[in-house]
Amino acid sequence: MQFNIQAISPKIRRVTFANGPVNVVGADTIAELSDIIDVLSTDAHVQVVIFDSATPGYFYNHADLSQFDGLLSQHTTDGTPLFIDVATRLASAPFVSIASIRGRTRGGGDELTLAFDLRYASREQAIFCQPEVGTGLLPGGGAGDRLPSLVGRDRALEILLTSADYDAATAERFGWVTRALPDADLDRFVESTAARIAAFDADAVRGVKSIVNRASLPPQGNIRDSWAAFTTSATWPGFQARGAVFANIFAEIGVEEVERNLGHYLAQTA
């Protein structure tokens, strides 16, 4: 099991992700997260859910390339890619989701994080990146659809085209995260925010979320089109060639060092 659910109070749950050593997101991660969303969404008592990580240095990381084919082949019974279904259900869930972000949040992991309602980041420890273009891919899990409405067209293009790592202060200034907080204050702030929301009437909380979602979320059809383009990009020669270069970088420098500074090493695949 990669996720642990803890009851903080009758109305608040904490979901902690741990898939060490670097919290990559695999097909097994998405399948388990899908089940967790189902459980939490059908519990009438749950009003706020905090999502965090137990793996030092990492929140939700990029896709697990060893499970890449599995991620691409996961679908719901109506044909929706399971990754897209999970992100969509996170955004539309009857509970308020809060991401408490410490460490690196990249690629597919960042696309899941973008689906949370509120994102609070450690100023000292959180790092964000959409590395797809740097690996010869297109972003397919919602980054290209959600980021423009959060950060603006030009900043979304910069984030996606450069595949660079961004610190929490910049992410906050861009609107990528709700707030960046001193690491020592992060847990207290997230927990107090969750408690405050949970103290209000559930109908009012869910009603406001529904109104804001209607005004701000991208159409699911657009996100499905992005996933289709992402799937196609996985067959492009550029992805295959850059993948081979990156495999050599991992072998020569080591996974731990490359993962810590992924944005830097992506530039070496050019």
Domain 3-199+217-269 belongs in CATH node 3.40.50.970: no
Question: What does the alpha-carbon distance between residue 192 and residue 213 come to, in Å, rounded to a whole number?
Answer: 23
Q: Would the CA dihedral through 240, 146, 213, 108 be positive or negative?
A: positive
Q: What is the pTM of this model?
A: 0.97
| pLDDT tens digits in sequence order for the chain, 270 residues long | 999 999 999 999 999 999 999 999 999 999 999 999 999 999 999 999 999 999 999 999 999 999 999 999 999 999 999 999 999 999 999 999 999 999 999 999 999 999 999 999 999 999 999 999 999 999 999 999 999 999 999 999 999 999 999 999 999 999 999 999 999 999 999 999 999 999 999 999 999 999 999 999 999 999 999 999 999 999 999 999 998 888 899 899 998 999 999 999 998 876
Helix, strand, or coil here: 258?
Answer: helix
**Pair 131, 84: CB distance under 8 Å:** no
Q: Using DSSP, state whether 228 is helix, strand or coil.
A: helix
Q: Delimit the domains of the chain by residue range.
A: 3-199+217-269
